[in-house]
């Protein structure tokens, strides 16, 4: 990781961004994949672990303000595990082709009922998912002190998420949970 931080410092890049790695679980060797000079769609996972608002950071930096914390300060205050599931208007039984139509019924899990749960969505019942835009309905993010706790919260939240009328990925995620629980 220090290798990539060195390269970022040498590039004189200032701003929020995402650096992706692969880690070999046997040797703990890491391999640099890419650096994006924007927030990734998965940025809520990082926000949950670091307890920082990365969108606010990006806006502040683009306005000329310095980053509020150093990498060392972020690492010192980060903890836990977070996972994200994306709910899409797509048909898992037809090669995940996007589907369109009116969302007749949408019920998200109650965020207040489960500590460490976040739902990012821009749609409600009555909205239309069109063929002209990304078919993402929502991002569901769960945080826990451990991976098992985060996964348990995410599984429970997925079971309580409802989208009716158009095909969506919730049925597929439920199928994955059933298969991996055996």
Q: Which residues are catalytic?
A: 38
| C-alpha count within 13 angstroms, C-beta hemisphere, residue 68 | 12
The three-state secondary structure class of 72 is helix
Burial class (CB in 10 A: 0-12, 13-18, 19+), 38: exposed
In this structure, what is the dihedral angle of CA atoms 60, 6, 51, 142, given to the nearest 10 degrees? 120
């Amino acid at each position: 990781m220090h290798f990539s931080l060195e390269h970022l410092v040498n590039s004189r890049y200032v701003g929020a961004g995402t650096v992706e790695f692969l880690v070999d679980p046997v040797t703990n060797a890491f391999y640099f994949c890419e650096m994006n000079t924007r927030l990734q769609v998965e940025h809520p996972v990082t926000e949950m672990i670091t307890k920082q608002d990365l969108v606010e950071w990006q806006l502040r930096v683009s306005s000329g303000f310095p980053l509020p914390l150093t990498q060392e300060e972020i690492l010192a205050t980060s903890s836990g595990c977070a996972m994200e599931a994306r709910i899409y208007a797509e048909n898992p039984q037809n090669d995940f082709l996007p589907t369109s139509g009116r969302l007749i019924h949408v019920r998200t899990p109650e965020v207040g009922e489960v500590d460490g749960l976040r739902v990012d969505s821009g749609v409600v019942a009555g909205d239309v998912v069109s063929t002209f835009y990304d078919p993402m309905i929502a991002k569901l993010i769960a945080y826990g002190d451990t991976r098992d706790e985060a996964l348990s919260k995410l599984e429970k939240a997925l079971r309580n998420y409802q989208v009716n009328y158009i095909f969506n990925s919730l049925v597929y995620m439920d199928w994955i949970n059933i298969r991996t629980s055996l």
